[in-house]
Amino acid sequence: MKKAIIIGATSGIGLEVAKKLLNDGWQIGAAGRRETELQKLQALSPEQISIQTLDVTADDAVQNLQSLIMKTGGMDLFLLSSGIGKQNPDLQPELEMQTVATNAKGFTQMTNAAFHFFKTKGKGHLAVISSIAGTKGIGVSPAYSATKRFQNIYMESLEQLARTEKLNIAFTDIRPGFVATELLNDSKKYPMLMRADRVAQSIVRAINRKKRVAIIDWRYKILVAFWRLIPKCLWVRMKVSN
């Protein structure tokens, strides 16, 4: 039975991916900050799901990840679905630093630990959920777009390291657009909003195909292609919300 560790499995995309992998017969190790929500997930199939409370920004995050891997009986797939991001045009320092702590420090702690595990094991699949927001710097969400770009580059760097060391590790950088989750539960209207369960279905498909970069939904593929064509001198004068 294949084994997947999912960080951020208590809600949203991570929860939906966990359910789909569960239906596909995977053994699941689910982690998140809310123990009650983890217990609800485990109740769906106690024999297939192991749980571990984990905060990616905490000093014991790696230790808790290792504990979850042991409970699950190993790890073939690592999926990081933990992240935060809010529009912050007023540049509230606390909000910016919380975003950096989770999306940069926490991201690095978790992916680094997963890389070392797969290196020791000899193979594995390291997948993360970043965002199309990493394509360009978005003025209303500086820390969010910057940390998502950080994630894109970090995954690229890990892949290069794995190839130079001839490691059998697959990498998948999943880049969704707007998804109807708690992250966007702020009363704002978002265009091209996608359902979390449908996004999860696309993510599982991309993981099964070991796709290197997966932009979820054809509309966002067109949007990202358009963004990349816009010269910097024009981009910085555009009003873009995320």
> Into how many domains does the chain fold?
1
Q: Strand 77-80's sheet: what is its strand order?
A: 49-53, 27-32, 3-7, 77-80, 123-129, 168-175, 213-215
| In a domain? residue 241 | no
Specify the pLDDT at position 129: 95
Specify the pLDDT at position 192: 65
| In a domain? residue 242 | no
Sequence-distant contacts of 177-182: CB under 8 A, at least 24 apart: 177/131, 177/132, 177/216, 177/217, 177/219, 177/220, 177/223, 179/12, 179/13, 181/11, 181/12, 181/13, 182/11, 182/12
Residues 49 and 28: their CA atoms lie apart, in Å, by 5
Residues pairing with 3 in the sheet: 27
Specify the pLDDT at position 186: 54
Residues 163 and 1: their CA atoms lie apart, in Å, by 27
CB neighbour class for 194 (10 Å; exposed up to 12, middle 13-18, buried from 19): buried
Extract the tokens encoding 93. Answer: 């320092």
User: Which region holds residue 172: left if phi is over 0, alpha if psi is between -120 and 50, else beta?
Assistant: beta
Q: Residue 25: CA atoms inside 13 Å, Cβ hemisphere, count? A: 2
In a structure prediction context, what are the per-residue pLDDT tens digits for the chain, which is 242 residues long? 899 999 999 988 999 999 999 999 999 999 999 999 999 999 999 999 999 999 999 999 999 999 999 999 999 999 999 888 888 889 999 999 999 999 999 999 999 999 999 999 999 999 999 999 899 888 888 999 999 999 999 999 999 999 999 999 999 999 987 776 665 555 566 556 678 889 999 999 999 999 999 998 888 889 889 888 888 888 888 877 64
The contacts of residue 153 (CB under 8 Å, 6+ apart) are none
CATH number at residue 172: 3.40.50.720
| In a domain? residue 188 | yes
Specify the pLDDT at position 189: 61
Decide: 30 and 16 in contact? Cβ < 8 Å: no
Domain that includes residue 47, residue range: 3-235
Specify the pLDDT at position 182: 61
Specify the pLDDT at position 211: 96
| In a domain? residue 240 | no
Residues 222 and 56: their CA atoms lie apart, in Å, by 32
Specify the pLDDT at position 232: 85
Decide: 84 and 130 in contact? Cβ < 8 Å: no
| In a domain? residue 79 | yes
| In a domain? residue 114 | yes
Of 154, 140, 67, the C-alpha closest to 106 is: 154
CA 204 from centre of chain: 13
Helices 196-208 and 12-23: angle between axes, nearest 10 degrees = 60
| In a domain? residue 45 | yes
Specify the pLDDT at position 181: 65
Decide: 158 and 108 in contact? Cβ < 8 Å: no
Specify the pLDDT at position 235: 82
Specify the pLDDT at position 112: 98
Specify the pLDDT at position 154: 98
Specify the pLDDT at position 190: 59
Specify the pLDDT at position 85: 81
The contacts of residue 204 (CB under 8 Å, 6+ apart) are 17, 20, 21, 24
| In a domain? residue 180 | yes
Predicted structure pTM score: 0.90
Count the neighbouring beta carbons within 10 Å of the beta carbon of residue 4: 24
Specify the pLDDT at position 163: 97
